């Protein structure tokens, strides 16, 4: 995966940690494409906590209407902006505890911010990574936390920073849910699911 994509990154478009935080909050149960469409206009009007507070909840809603759960997400973003100003001088914190205390930020979102904005070797397990980890057998687990812990345990340190992006892209474009593109898969020969398919076809 490193040979094919030496410098992977998120497909969300952002220019600072706060923009990334807003984008990741918006991306819950939404595609990165739809988030980027909304933020391309939104961020020209507001890209700091102060500017989002001036916009207000109804102003934020106007830009994110096409995104699922937009009412709740507008509240999250507004309240998060207030909290960042009150407790963090308007800056996005670089520690998990402070991030998870922000409205609309759970463990997965915190992991994305720590990894992508601040270069920490965390792995945010979304539906794509959960599927890839279980299907290939790289880190099988019953829930996202178990998969995350196994990935952090088994992935060598030199790959930890980029593993999240490699696995997410693999799940998004190759190891898709319904009809995985096994013929295009870099790791098919290492995949437990692939081996079972080969075995059952013989």
Residues marked active site are found at 108, 126
Instruction: Tell the residue number behind the tokens 């936390």, with chain if given.
Output: 145
Q: Phi first, then psi: what are they for 61, rounded to 5°?
A: -55, -40
Nearest-10 crossing angle of helices 157-173, 127-136: 100
CA 202, CA 199: separation in Å to the nearest integer? 5
* DSSP three-state, residue 5: coil
Burial class (CB in 10 A: 0-12, 13-18, 19+), 181: exposed
Provide Rg for the chain, Cα atoms. Answer: 18
Tokens of 112: 């994305």
Rounded-to-integer distance, Cα 89 and Cα 69, Å: 28
Helix axes 70-88, 17-26, angle to 10 degrees: 150
């Amino acid at each position: 995966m490193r040979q094919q994509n030496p410098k992977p990154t998120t497909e969300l478009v952002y220019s600072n940690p706060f923009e990334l935080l807003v984008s990741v909050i918006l991306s819950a149960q939404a595609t990165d494409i739809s988030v980027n469409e909304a933020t391309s206009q939104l961020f020209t009007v507001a890209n700091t906590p102060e500017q989002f507070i001036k916009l207000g909840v109804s102003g934020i809603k106007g830009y994110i209407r096409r995104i699922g759960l937009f009412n709740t997400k507008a509240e999250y973003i507004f309240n998060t902006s207030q909290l960042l100003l009150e407790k963090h001088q308007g800056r996005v914190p670089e520690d998990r505890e402070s991030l998870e205390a922000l409205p609309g930020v759970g463990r997965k979102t915190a992991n994305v911010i720590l990894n992508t904005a601040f270069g920490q070797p965390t792995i945010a397990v979304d539906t794509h990574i959960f599927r890839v980890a279980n299907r290939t057998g790289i880190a099988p687990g019953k829930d996202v936390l178990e998969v995350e812990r196994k990935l952090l345990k088994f992935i060598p340190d030199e790959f930890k920073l980029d593993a999240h992006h490699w696995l997410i892209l693999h799940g998004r474009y190759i190891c898709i849910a319904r009809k995985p593109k096994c013929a295009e898969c870099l790791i098919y020969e290492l995949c437990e699911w692939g081996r079972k398919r080969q075995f059952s076809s013989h």
